Structure 1
Amino acid sequence: MFTADEFAMKRLARMFAMVLGVMAADVVGGRPALADPAPFDLAGPSLQITVTRRGTTLPIAAVPQLSAGDKVHVQVLLPATETAHYLMVAAFLRDPTNPPPEAWFSRSETWRPAARGGGPLDLTVPPEAQHLAVFLAPATGGDFVTLRKAVMARPGAFIRAAQDLEQASLDRGRFDAYLAAIRKVSATSPETLAHDAPIIASSLRIKINEECLQRQSEFQAACLLDTKQSVVLGGDGAANATSLTGAATDLAMSLAATPAGGLGYYSPYISTIREIVGIFGAMHTARYQYIPALGVPDGDRLGLVLNTPPSFADPKSVLMATLPEIKPSVIPTSHMPAAAVAPCLGAKGLGAKDPVLPLAVSPLFYATGYAHDLKLRLRGEPGVELPLTPDPVRGGLAIGANPAVPAKLTGPISGVLRGMWGFEPFSGPEVTLQTAGDWHWDRKESGRDDGPLVLTGAASACVASVTVAPAKGKPQPVAWKVTGTDSIGVTLPATADRHDALTVSVNGPDGTAPAVLVVAPPARALPPAARIVAKFSDLPPPDPAAPLLVQLDGADEIAANARLSFTLKADPDARFTGREAVEIGTTGSDATVRLTVGNGLTLVDPTVLVASLNPAQVLGASAYGPLRARLMRGDVAGDWLGVGTLVRLPTIRGLDCPADPAARCLLRGEALYLMASVAATREFDNAANVPDGYPGTTLSVPRVATGAPLFVRLHDAPEIVNRIAAPVVR
């Protein structure tokens, strides 16, 4: 079940599917049902319209409402090759229960010159009128009278159609502004689309499909411009939302507004789908069918877009367009959000854009020309005004330059938004601008060397960029962010990479010398110092099935499968705390292990640590070569200390020799590839070399006398001669 708000939103979605699509229907149980609507993508004729009030003339794109007494100039713009004869009829409408008088209807036979009933229409808005509709109909005998009678017979139906067409035209404008902004960002800086798209959507009160922003950058624009994507209808601050998917989203997207002036809320005047179908059904006759024409204003041109091709055969198509509603002007309010940072006056330079006044304004500031001649009047500077331009991509009003602004302004400057909403002047809230002033920045000591560098001093909004240069390098831009009105956080290179002082330059607006400060390298903790004073390794008991052992004769050799212990002695001026660690590894592999107290490390007293480990178990079977260790205190490491040479040993099962004293013997075992060569003499005369990676379990070796050892060089330390002592000859 839906709540009351959700049900209202569902009705709104259905209305958009109607107003923004073709009014086709199937008869189901005697009642009309809506088919999938067609988009408004057919270009119709254009109207040239200007409005004059109190001696001032504005193009139609700058007129949010009409008022009694306004002079309206309407002319249809048709190509010279136009073969169809269009009758243009202008009709003022008032109450649904009060048909308009005949005097409120005007006509122009557009194919004729002005002297013969053609040309433009010059209209004066009468008192009590509420709407102005313009019809374009194929010329036939009695067409003007027929249209006038149709409107006078059903004024309520035409008033409802005029309301919905006006609202849908506003909605089309907001959605077109969204598409234009997305295309602009995609064409100029596609890498910023994920950042800019939510700002554009917020400016125009549109909730976009967030999944689009999770795609790869080259696919984001296509997703955001895809009108088949699921979008959400939402208003200016409205908590309700309903998801809508389908062709109706060509114009939908959360674009409804109040009848009081299109301020971003849902219109209570919008009817349900069946009511709208009934309206157009009531307009349909044997001779005429009425089709909606959405107005797309551009200066004094009102382009008409259709979703149904006009018909010049019975029933002929009558295009119905509407002008702004006739009512008192309602000027939208604006305010500065509490979390907004005051912009910097004149903060343009070093590639920066014009500063932006982050005012929260109606989406119609961005989607229409209703707000014009926008200025920011500076207090304390008589006659000084800064031009303002609505910018949905940046979410505010871009502040332009004015040469009359004094170059050496200091301290915060206040100003007031001034402008025109149609014909009516309005004032916005008082806002504060920052200035570069005395451009200096100092380091705020935090007691920490990690994290961002915090700088305080001048106005943070006036910072254009920050660069960092090492002692012998070129300046490079770095990331920074505003942390307060007079503070910024600068991301410096990682502490581990900083061995020298850094020069930080904070760049301000044009004409402002950079503020330069030198940041010393972070203080480094002294590495812990110790030395190895003793070591011991013990092989596990021999396997009865492998009675022949390799005896290591090298003083530094450590069997990989041995139990190894070594003792660390602190330097005379150092003490162990028990929070140290010992990192152990070999130069022949990347494997390392870190021993801590209670996990392989024993604190004997504040000057002695004993490390115990089985190298093969903690470093893996592939570890070999020079074994080393270093003392760690936190992330600070001491020097590497040599422990010995880690060697892996083969398993020797036995030695078989035939009775013939001249014949060679056969050595049996596993992992024989861990030997480099085997000989009967220490000088390795007639030695048997073991092929690299030898996988066999037997090896032909020189014959030895009973009780004499075999000599072996191991793969992991071939420079050392070891023994297989007293092999049993069979």
Structure 2
Amino acid sequence: MRAFLYRLLAVAAACSLALPDAAAAQSTTFDLAGPVLTMRVTRGTTTLPVGEVPSIRAGDRLEVKADLPADQSAHFVLVVAFLRGATNPPPKDWFFKAETWDKNPKKASLSITVPDGAEQAIAFMAPETGGGYNALVKAVRGRPGVFVRAAQDLFQASLDRARLETFVNGVAHVEEGAPDRLVPVSTALAGTLGIKLNADCLSRARALQASCLTQNREGMVLQTGGGTTLAEVLGGTTTQFAYSLAATKEGGAGLYSPYISLARDFARLFGVFRSASYQYAPALAVGSGDRLRLQLNNPPSFQNPQTVLVAPLPPIGSAAPPPLRAAGKDGQCLAQPGLVLRLEDAPLIFATDYARDLRLRLGLQDGRTLELPVTADAERGGLVVAGAQQVGQSPVGEAVLVGRWGFDTFTGPRFAVQNGAPSVWKPQPDDAVVVGRDAPLTLQGGAASCVAQISLRDRDGGTRPVTWKPSAADEITATLPLARTRPGALTLLVAQYGDAAPAQLTLKGQTEASRLEGFTLYTGDRAGRLVGARLDQVAMLEVGGVRFAAGALTRDPGGGDRLTLITDANTETLAQGQSEAKVTLKDGRTTSVRATITPPRPRLELVGSNVAAPAAPGRVPLTLPAGLLAPDATLTFSVRAVGTRLTNDDAIEIATADDSASAKLTVASGKLQSLGDDIAVGSIVPRQVLGAAAVGPLKMRLVQGDVVGEWQPLARVVRLPSLTKVACDDKGCTLEGEGLYLIASVSGSADGANAQAVPVGFVGTSLTVPKPVGELLYLKLHDAPDDMVTVAAGKK
């Protein structure tokens, strides 16, 4: 293992980038092992090793010391400093030093309480020269902004380094233990850790795959928080992983590397402090347990100018976990062997120990609440659940991830987890199926994700596999192989994960005569519907000189078939009313069927709308353009029916653009009011009506019994940041609040000129933006990139 890692480090160290001035001497990698610091953080009565602490806060007690070898000859002074902003030098008593060579443990280590008002913490390892400590304090207090930036950017780069090392170590582990699994494991590692995977490496000889996957390591770390998908990673799409620190024009393997930019920028920044005696050098700090391993990009110098190492400590402030989202909406079976719950864009869960005591809290329909232990496993690509056998066959009502992020507890996200007994499956609409052809069958009532296999046993005892797929959480659509089956009793065998014996459902195999009942077409539509039986034999239909070709065939819940017939011709020329249509079967025979050409589908026209946002005390109000509303705002709208008359039995259906959520407004529910026979007024709160899916465009249509109208646009739902303060002066403005990552960019003018983009995945609570031309700031949201949201610019 060690030899393999050394080989990887050697390959990565071969990359270089020409940098001007002081930066030219800086290596672009941080693969040189430096000193090790040990650190523990105590908050109240709880003490955690630094590897489990994502941030610290005022009042925390820090125990810090250098873990140097017994034969360490060079004496280092360990200094921990606290900063309070780029323009506010810290007081001298915010600097703490330890003489690491001293035999007295109290002098060789630090026991510090984080002071009130501190905003960043940073550590220095300086050679002892007699006056080095005072020079360091003077340098930090003289230009605090340089070290504020160092504390922030070095910590972020250290997190990126932790992701990279987890990937490299994972590839090394699988190469040594199970090289045949390198392709799936490296793909899973790349997806969970946000690492760029070179898909070309996976097609090489097995002996060359591991070294290929881990070459050019500076360019492998992807930006997180931008929704990069595994498909984009495999395809090499570069639009999402250009990390904000690494916008370089130079070519080479590390074009998108945060490390290259870090080395270049800090070489220039620290160059202002270079003297005949000292030079400052950045170091990454990778935490594991109570140890912080410092990674250097150049060997330190013990001759003048001697090197002072600058390393980040955990940031000061709140420690909310990254936004956790379950990857995918499809349900997963709790009893499925090797169940892995996948998270979307959460690499720090797998690359650090910040998340601990993870559990999956289950609310069961039998009234019990269980918590199953969960382990974050980057090699398996998600969260591995243990102890699922405790649940038995009880259906799951809710499954939510809970745990701790550092010192704090967190809840979420919720996962679509299923469980249940196979005996609850029932055929719909009944147990009769038609033999002589492959027949569709719908099963309802059970947990679709828990079905492992379905097979059909005929009356002679022969068993055949059945093709099936889940069509809903509690529904399965199967295709029964009945083309050569005789009428009689059939047995459907449904096997589920975790159950030894499959459920046995009895079906009645029956013959059905072919029949054509009627063809219906709405004027203007390009598709009509033919109703009857054995419609799989229909090839074409012609009415009024317009030809229709056979399309999708479905089983009618009430019995029989429904066949969609499609044309490219204009159907507005067909005369409305009933006529006779010619049907051509696949064997060449022809017959006729009654055709009904009806008036155009009814549709709705939006007359007007009004948005009422709920009161938000302590929040800076945002002004939204027409057509946008927040998920918890009330949308009142009026519509006019075209081509029909409204009755109190009609409904207006509201749905998201992808049809993932919908709801019907009716007079009976109180959500719809009729004004005459052509005007109606509806009212909705998107989050209450459509749930969490209510983001993005909403559409509406009229529903009159079995007749549904065309979809029409209604409004767009956008998620809004919660601003608590907007303050501006001659230099710029500061936005404070929560959810700032929802903002795409901020501009001082309505034309969007000189807009400042917000880094994708930004999770801070304060953002500096340009000052406005007038009295307003203009915000573009990720949910509405073509619209401007305005906010009044206050004064500092």
**Deviation at 1:421?**
1.6
**Deviation at 1:467?**
9.1
For 1:51, the equivalent position in structure 2 comes to: 41
For 1:462, the equivalent position in structure 2 comes to: 450
Match of 1:84 among 61, 70, 74: 74
Do the aligned residues in 1 keep the contact of 2:15 with 2:216 (CA within 8 Å)?
A: no
Determine whether 1:301 maps to 2:287: no
Do the aligned residues in 1 keep the contact of 2:26 with 2:298 (CA within 8 Å)?
A: no
Do the aligned residues in 1 keep the contact of 2:356 with 2:404 (CA within 8 Å)?
A: yes
For 2:64, the equivalent position in structure 1 comes to: 74
In structure 2, how many angstroms separate the alpha carbons of the residues matched to 1:318 and 1:78?
Answer: 16
Q: Write 1 or 2 for the structure with the bigger share of strand.
A: 2
Secondary structure at 1:373 match in 2: strand
For 2:392, give the aligned amino acid.
Answer: A
In structure 1, how many angstroms separate the alpha carbons of the residues matched to 2:179 and 2:285?
Answer: 31
**Deviation at 1:389?**
2.1
For 2:342, the equivalent position in structure 1 comes to: 358
For 1:460, give the aligned amino acid.
Answer: A
Determine whether 1:113 maps to 2:82: no
**Deviation at 1:456?**
6.8
In structure 2, how many angstroms separate the alpha carbons of the residues matched to 1:40 and 1:439?
Answer: 59
Question: Residue deviations 1:468-517, cap 9 Å, x none?
Answer: 99999999999987565346689999x99xxxx99997653445434468
Match of 1:427 among 405, 411, 414: 411
**Deviation at 1:281?**
0.7
Q: Give the structure with higher Rg (CA).
A: 1
Determine whether 1:399 maps to 2:385: yes
TM-score by length of 1: 0.55
For 2:550, the equivalent position in structure 1 comes to: none
Do the aligned residues in 1 keep the contact of 2:243 with 2:257 (CA within 8 Å)?
A: no
Do the aligned residues in 2 keep the contact of 1:357 with 1:397 (CA within 8 Å)?
A: yes
For 1:332, the equivalent position in structure 2 comes to: 322
**Deviation at 1:108?**
1.1
Alignment of 1:78-157 (within 5 A): 78-114=68-104, 118-157=107-146
In structure 2, how many angstroms separate the alpha carbons of the residues matched to 1:490 and 1:195?
Answer: 30
Secondary structure at 2:57 match in 1: coil
In structure 1, how many angstroms separate the alpha carbons of the residues matched to 2:465 and 2:204?
Answer: 28
In structure 2, how many angstroms separate the alpha carbons of the residues matched to 1:370 and 1:448?
Answer: 61
**Deviation at 1:325?**
1.2
**Deviation at 1:318?**
1.7
In structure 1, how many angstroms separate the alpha carbons of the residues matched to 2:464 and 2:180?
Answer: 20
Do the aligned residues in 2 keep the contact of 1:70 with 1:124 (CA within 8 Å)?
A: yes
Do the aligned residues in 2 keep the contact of 1:385 with 1:402 (CA within 8 Å)?
A: no
Secondary structure at 2:422 match in 1: coil
For 2:496, the equivalent position in structure 1 comes to: 508
Secondary structure at 1:379 match in 2: strand
In structure 2, how many angstroms separate the alpha carbons of the residues matched to 1:140 and 1:146?
Answer: 10
In structure 1, how many angstroms separate the alpha carbons of the residues matched to 2:184 and 2:269?
Answer: 44
In structure 2, how many angstroms separate the alpha carbons of the residues matched to 1:169 and 1:408?
Answer: 45
TM-score by length of 2: 0.51
In structure 2, how many angstroms separate the alpha carbons of the residues matched to 1:341 and 1:426?
Answer: 24
Secondary structure at 1:147 match in 2: helix
Alpha carbons of 1:213 and 1:77: their partners in 2 closer, same or farther (altered >3 Å)? same
**Deviation at 1:329?**
2.8
Question: Residue deviations 1:252-301, cap 9 Å, x none?
Answer: 9666699xxxxxxx999x98886533212123221122222211111111
Secondary structure at 2:212 match in 1: helix
For 1:162, the equivalent position in structure 2 comes to: 151
Do the aligned residues in 2 keep the contact of 1:23 with 1:35 (CA within 8 Å)?
A: no
Match of 1:178 among 167, 184, 189: 167
In structure 1, how many angstroms separate the alpha carbons of the residues matched to 2:207 and 2:461?
Answer: 35
Alpha carbons of 1:447 and 1:257: their partners in 2 closer, same or farther (altered >3 Å)? farther
Determine whether 1:276 maps to 2:271: no
The range that moved more, 427-436 or 31-40, is 31-40
Alignment of 1:476-515 (within 5 A): 484-486=472-474, 507-510=495-498, 512-515=500-503
Do the aligned residues in 2 keep the contact of 1:414 with 1:433 (CA within 8 Å)?
A: yes
The structure whose RCO (Cα within 8 Å, separation 6+) is larger is: 1
Do the aligned residues in 2 keep the contact of 1:169 with 1:294 (CA within 8 Å)?
A: yes
For 1:61, the equivalent position in structure 2 comes to: 51
In structure 2, how many angstroms separate the alpha carbons of the residues matched to 1:190 and 1:457?
Answer: 43
For 1:385, the equivalent position in structure 2 comes to: 371
In structure 2, how many angstroms separate the alpha carbons of the residues matched to 1:451 and 1:188?
Answer: 48
Alignment of 1:523-672 (within 5 A): none
Determine whether 1:210 maps to 2:196: no
In structure 1, how many angstroms separate the alpha carbons of the residues matched to 2:293 and 2:413?
Answer: 35
Alpha carbons of 1:447 and 1:152: their partners in 2 closer, same or farther (altered >3 Å)? farther
Question: Residue deviations 1:128-168, cap 9 Å, x none?
Answer: 21221111122222222222222222222222222221111
For 2:273, give the aligned amino acid.
Answer: M
Alignment root-mean-square deviation, CA: 5.0
In structure 1, how many angstroms separate the alpha carbons of the residues matched to 2:301 and 2:461?
Answer: 74
**Deviation at 1:126?**
0.7
Alpha carbons of 1:209 and 1:267: their partners in 2 closer, same or farther (altered >3 Å)? closer
- Percent of residue pairs identical: 41
In structure 1, how many angstroms separate the alpha carbons of the residues matched to 2:166 and 2:354?
Answer: 14
Do the aligned residues in 2 keep the contact of 1:167 with 1:257 (CA within 8 Å)?
A: no
The range that moved more, 122-131 or 182-191, is 182-191
In structure 2, how many angstroms separate the alpha carbons of the residues matched to 1:191 and 1:440?
Answer: 41
Determine whether 1:41 maps to 2:25: no
Question: Residue deviations 1:659-697, cap 9 Å, x none?
Answer: xxxxxxxxxxxxxxxxxxxxxxxxxxxxxxxxxxxxxxx
For 1:368, the equivalent position in structure 2 comes to: 352
For 2:99, give the aligned amino acid.
Answer: E
Do the aligned residues in 2 keep the contact of 1:436 with 1:509 (CA within 8 Å)?
A: no
For 2:278, the equivalent position in structure 1 comes to: 288
Alpha carbons of 1:95 and 1:122: their partners in 2 closer, same or farther (altered >3 Å)? same
Question: Residue deviations 1:369-398, cap 9 Å, x none?
Answer: 222222222235555212222233444322
Alpha carbons of 1:198 and 1:475: their partners in 2 closer, same or farther (altered >3 Å)? farther
Do the aligned residues in 1 keep the contact of 2:151 with 2:311 (CA within 8 Å)?
A: yes
Secondary structure at 2:359 match in 1: strand
**Deviation at 1:233?**
4.5
Alignment of 1:437-452 (within 5 A): 437-439=421-423
Alpha carbons of 1:277 and 1:316: their partners in 2 closer, same or farther (altered >3 Å)? closer
In structure 2, how many angstroms separate the alpha carbons of the residues matched to 1:21 and 1:283?
Answer: 29
For 2:341, give the aligned amino acid.
Answer: L
In structure 1, how many angstroms separate the alpha carbons of the residues matched to 2:491 and 2:55?
Answer: 58
For 1:433, give the aligned amino acid.
Answer: V
In structure 2, how many angstroms separate the alpha carbons of the residues matched to 1:169 and 1:306?
Answer: 11
In structure 2, how many angstroms separate the alpha carbons of the residues matched to 1:451 and 1:216?
Answer: 46
Question: Residue deviations 1:299-334, cap 9 Å, x none?
Answer: 111111222122222222222211111123333222
In structure 1, how many angstroms separate the alpha carbons of the residues matched to 2:244 and 2:458?
Answer: 55
Unaligned runs of 5+ in 1: 1-19, 259-265, 524-632, 635-730
Do the aligned residues in 2 keep the contact of 1:38 with 1:307 (CA within 8 Å)?
A: yes
Do the aligned residues in 2 keep the contact of 1:86 with 1:139 (CA within 8 Å)?
A: yes
**Deviation at 1:215?**
4.5
**Deviation at 1:202?**
3.2
Unaligned runs of 5+ in 2: 1-12, 247-255, 512-585, 588-796
In structure 2, how many angstroms separate the alpha carbons of the residues matched to 1:204 and 1:187?
Answer: 21
Do the aligned residues in 2 keep the contact of 1:439 with 1:515 (CA within 8 Å)?
A: yes
Alpha carbons of 1:360 and 1:231: their partners in 2 closer, same or farther (altered >3 Å)? closer
Alpha carbons of 1:322 and 1:407: their partners in 2 closer, same or farther (altered >3 Å)? same
In structure 2, how many angstroms separate the alpha carbons of the residues matched to 1:482 and 1:408?
Answer: 19
Residues matched between the structures, number: 478
